[in-house]
């Protein structure tokens, strides 16, 4: 059995929550809320909340699925529950998906950095640096990665929220803060669909679930939900500040609305007066965390797919994943192409994957109750909660 409990040390509930949140926070935040506003105008805020609600529901479903066989990675128990070919296909889709998300992130952030901050640095240098840095973050395993995210990620989010509050002073049209009531449903859903990219990455929770300490599972779920609620809160503030500052007509013309907004934040007299620019540069932490979590997931899904059991093989799987991300990222010529990839492939596949897989698995699990019980008992015997951790 490729039992997740062998890859100790495992992570706490808070660390799980942080990793899952880090797994989607940086996604698309740079061009948020352009897609929403372009499609739905001022109604975009409702679109964001629809996205949030959908994510809550899908996250609940995926936890329900993971709870069926809590000690086993999805890649493993799916092939035993849904038959081998289905399991293999699902495993492959998951891996490709993780890698593509990482590629899109690298491309977006590279072009942002290159265009706005480091025009003299060649694109390949930025791409390579990002891949190496995220590989380095993921290199030392789950617990280290989770601790690094806790230490680097949480302060970065706190700083960003404070800076957003500062950006609140730029608001020129307070009337735009009130969500409009005469909504048009079709454009709203369109915007909501296109913007869903921002939450897509939460499926890390499926791969990550068996790595929470047994007694921390419920707490971990709560932290993940809390992280989601926090993200929706932060995104709402971002949306509101951006909307009330620039207005609905100007946002669609901005390449990176959030970045433009943050860069207008100045603190005159302070020794770094372009404060917002500094915070944008610090977002590198979020991007690296996101990529590291993706690489981590790919390595674990690969291990599940290839029936590799040893703990030591993690790094040998991590390296080819990083190389794959690097090569594909080098092939993507610019951010517009990665945008196109997202809209045409990642959003539809992601939504389909996140909604149908848990539903099918849960339904099959209800039919094949005995198999589920056997799987659960078989994996639980090897890991008594708390005993084998240290």
Partner 1 sequence: MTNPMRRFFQVLAVIGLLLSLSGCWGNRPVDERDMVFTIDMANGSPKAPLKMLFQFPTPAALIDYSAHKGLSSKNAPVADVTGSGQTVAQCFNQGQAQVARDLYLGQIQLVEVASNLKPQIFSQALLALTRIGTMDMTPFVFVTKDLTTAMRAQTPQAQFPTLYYSSLYSCTHCATDNLGVRLWQFAAEDQTPGVDPHLPYVSIDPAAQTIVTDRVGLYRHLQFVTALSPQQTQDFGLLKGLANKVSVFIPQGQISLRSIHGSAHLRTAVVHGKVQATFLLNLSSTLAGTATVTHTPAGNAAIAAEASKVLAQNCLRLLKYTQAKDVDPWGVGRMLDWQHPNTFLKFRHWHQEYPKVTMTVHVKLHVYKLGNIK
> Would you call the peptide bond into 33 cis, given omega within 30 degrees of 0 as the criterion?
yes
Quick one: which H or E segment has residue 115? helix 84-116
Number of residues that bind partner 1 (CB under 8 A): 37
Cα–Cα distance, 121 to 132 (Å, whole number) = 16
Q: Rule CB under 8 A: is residue 329 a binding residue for partner 1?
A: no
Surface-to-core class of residue 214, CB atoms within 10 Å of its CB (0-12 exposed, 13-18 middle, 19+ buried): middle
Instruction: By CB under 8 A, tell whether 267 contacts partner 1.
Output: no
Spatial separation of the C-alpha atoms in residues 238 and 132, rounded to whole Å: 30
> What single-letter DSSP state applies at residue 365?
H
**Measured from the CB atom, is 254 or 360 closer to partner 1?**
254
Is 116 near partner 1 (CB under 8 A)? yes
Q: Measured between alpha carbons, how far is 375 from 364 in angstroms, rounded to an integer?
A: 14
Position 334 contacts partner 1 (CB under 8 A): no
d(CA 362, CA 78): 11
Q: Which residue has the tokens 């994510």?
A: 55
> Is residue 318 at the binding interface for partner 1, with CB under 8 A as the rule?
no
Residue 117 in contact with partner 1, rule: CB under 8 A:
yes
Task: Tell whether residue 136 is a contact of partner 1 (CB under 8 A).
Answer: yes
Phi/psi-derived region of residue 119, left when phi > 0, alpha when psi is between -120 and 50, beta in every other case: alpha
CA distances, 250 to each of 81, 113, 280 (Å): 51, 22, 21
Q: Which is nearer to partner 1, 264 or 334 (CB)?
A: 264
| Position 311 contacts partner 1 (CB under 8 A) | no
Q: d(Cα 372, Cα 77) in Å, to the nearest integer?
A: 9
Query: C-beta of 323: minimal distance to partner 1 in Å?
Result: 16
**Residues paired with residue 11 on neighbouring β-strands, in sequence order:** 212
Segment near partner 1 (CB under 8 A); pick from 115-123, 202-210, 299-307, 373-381: 115-123
Nearer to partner 1, 168 or 180 (CB): 180
Pick from 6, 60, 84, 122: which binds partner 1 (CB under 8 A)? Answer: 122
Nearest approach, Cβ of residue 183 and partner 1 (Å): 11
Which of 249, 270, 271, 312 binds partner 1 (CB under 8 A)? It is 249
Contact 80, 87 (CB under 8 A): yes
Per CB under 8 A, 133 contacts partner 1: yes
In three-state secondary structure terms, 212 is strand
Per-residue x/- mask for partner 1, residues 176 to 215, rule CB under 8 A?
Answer: x---x-x---------------------------------
End-to-end, the C-alpha distance of the chain in Å comes to 21
Question: Given candidates 247, 343, 359, 360, which one binds partner 1 under the rule CB under 8 A?
Answer: 247
Q: Which stretch binds partner 1 (CB under 8 A): 77-85, 201-209, 250-258, 380-388?
A: 250-258
Q: Is 175 a binder of partner 1 (CB under 8 A)? A: yes
390 binds partner 1 (CB under 8 A): no
316 touches partner 1 (CB under 8 A)? no
- Residue 212 phi/psi, 5° resolution? -80, 145
> Using CB under 8 A as the criterion, which residues of the chain lie in contact with partner 1 when the complex forms?
42, 114-122, 125-126, 128-129, 132-133, 136, 172-173, 175-176, 180, 182, 246-247, 249-250, 253-255, 260, 263-264, 266, 268, 274, 277
């Amino acid at each position: 059995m490729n039992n997740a409990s062998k890859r100790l040390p495992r992570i706490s509930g808070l660390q799980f929550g942080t990793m899952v949140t880090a797994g989607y926070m940086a996604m698309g935040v740079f061009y948020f809320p352009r897609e929403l506003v372009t499609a739905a105008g001022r109604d975009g805020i409702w679109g964001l909340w629809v996205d949030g609600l959908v994510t809550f529901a899908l996250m609940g479903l995926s936890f329900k699925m993971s709870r069926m066989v809590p000690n086993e990675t999805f890649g493993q128990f799916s092939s035993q529950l849904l038959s081998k070919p289905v399991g293999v296909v699902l495993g492959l889709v998951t891996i490709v998906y993780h890698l593509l998300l990482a590629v899109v992130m690298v491309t977006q952030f590279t072009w942002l950095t290159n265009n706005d901050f480091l025009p003299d640095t060649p694109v390949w240098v930025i791409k390579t640096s990002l891949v190496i840095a995220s590989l380095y973050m993921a290199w030392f395993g789950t617990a280290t990665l989770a601790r690094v995210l806790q230490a680097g990620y949480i302060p970065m989010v706190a700083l960003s929220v404070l800076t957003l509050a500062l950006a609140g002073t730029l608001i020129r049209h307070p009337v735009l803060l009130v969500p409009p009531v005469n909504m048009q449903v079709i454009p709203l859903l369109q915007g909501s669909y296109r913007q869903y990219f921002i939450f897509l990455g939460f499926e890390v929770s499926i791969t990550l679930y068996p790595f929470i300490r047994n007694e921390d599972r419920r707490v971990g779920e709560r932290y993940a939900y809390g992280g989601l609620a926090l993200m929706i809160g932060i995104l709402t503030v971002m949306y509101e500040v951006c909307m009330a500052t620039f207005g609905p007509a100007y946002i669609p013309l901005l390449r990176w609305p959030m970045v433009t907004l943050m860069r207008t934040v100045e603190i005159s007299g302070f020794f770094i007066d372009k404060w917002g620019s500094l915070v944008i540069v610090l977002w590198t932490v979020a991007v690296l965390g996101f990529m590291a979590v993706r690489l981590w997931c790919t390595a674990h899904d690969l291990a599940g797919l290839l029936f590799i059991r040893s703990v030591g093989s993690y790094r040998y799987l991590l390296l080819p994943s990083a190389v794959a991300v690097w090569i594909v990222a080098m092939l993507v010529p610019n951010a517009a192409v990665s945008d196109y990839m997202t809209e045409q492939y990642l959003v539809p596949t992601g939504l389909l994957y996140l909604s149908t897989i848990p539903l099918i698995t849960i339904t099959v699990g209800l039919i094949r109750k005995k198999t589920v019980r056997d799987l659960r008992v078989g994996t639980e015997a090897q890991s008594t909660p708390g005993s084998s951790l240290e």
